[in-house]
Amino acid sequence: MSWGCPHQLNDYTCTRLKRECHPGIKGCVLHGRFVFAGDTEEVKVMAKVDSIRRGLASGGTQSLDALLADAKKLGLKIYACPNAMANLNISQKELIGEIDGIMGLSAFLGYARGASVNWYI
């Protein structure tokens, strides 16, 4: 037995959701009606990534590059954490140009003590 979704085009685009077909995701005619073998965290993450891509493509969400450029104009300083870099095997040469330096948590806390706003992400 087979079933063909009337909303699926030959290139696997969903005309209902205006995106790539992922049977069973929110908004799909099959959502909540069946359990799919692919209902994994990976599928859920893919749906989130697609949602972000759609937001960026629609112009409703600024790209990270644009947000970063705006924040830098406002005086944002960005420091990379050396422990995170080591854990992720990132070298200093691989850091993007917007990074102002490398600073560990202890140094950051001392530096940030006098700041009015600071984040450690």
Task: Using CB under 6 A, pick the residue from 1, 2, 11, 30 that binds ligand SF4.
Answer: 30
Task: Using CB under 6 A, pick the residue from 1, 18, 26, 29 that binds ligand SF4.
Answer: 29
Q: Is the CB of 36 or the CB of 120 nearer to ligand SF4? A: 36
Cα dihedral 66, 72, 73, 77 in deg (nearest 10): 170
Q: How many CA atoms lie within 13 A of 30 on its CB side?
A: 16
Asked if 17 is part of the footprint of ligand SF4 (rule: CB under 6 A), the reply reads yes
For the record, the structure tokens of 59 come out as 């112009």
End-to-end CA gap in the chain: 51
Q: Is the CB of 3 or the CB of 119 nearer to ligand SF4? A: 3
Helix, strand, or coil (residue 109): helix
CA 14 to chain centre: 22
Asked if 16 is part of the footprint of ligand SF4 (rule: CB under 6 A), the reply reads yes
Asked if 43 is part of the footprint of ligand SF4 (rule: CB under 6 A), the reply reads no
Asked if 51 is part of the footprint of ligand SF4 (rule: CB under 6 A), the reply reads no
Asked if 26 is part of the footprint of ligand SF4 (rule: CB under 6 A), the reply reads no
Asked if 21 is part of the footprint of ligand SF4 (rule: CB under 6 A), the reply reads yes
Cα dihedral 95, 97, 100, 106 in deg (nearest 10): -10
Binding residues (CB under 6 A) for ligand SF4: these are 5, 7-8, 14, 16-17, 21-23, 28-30
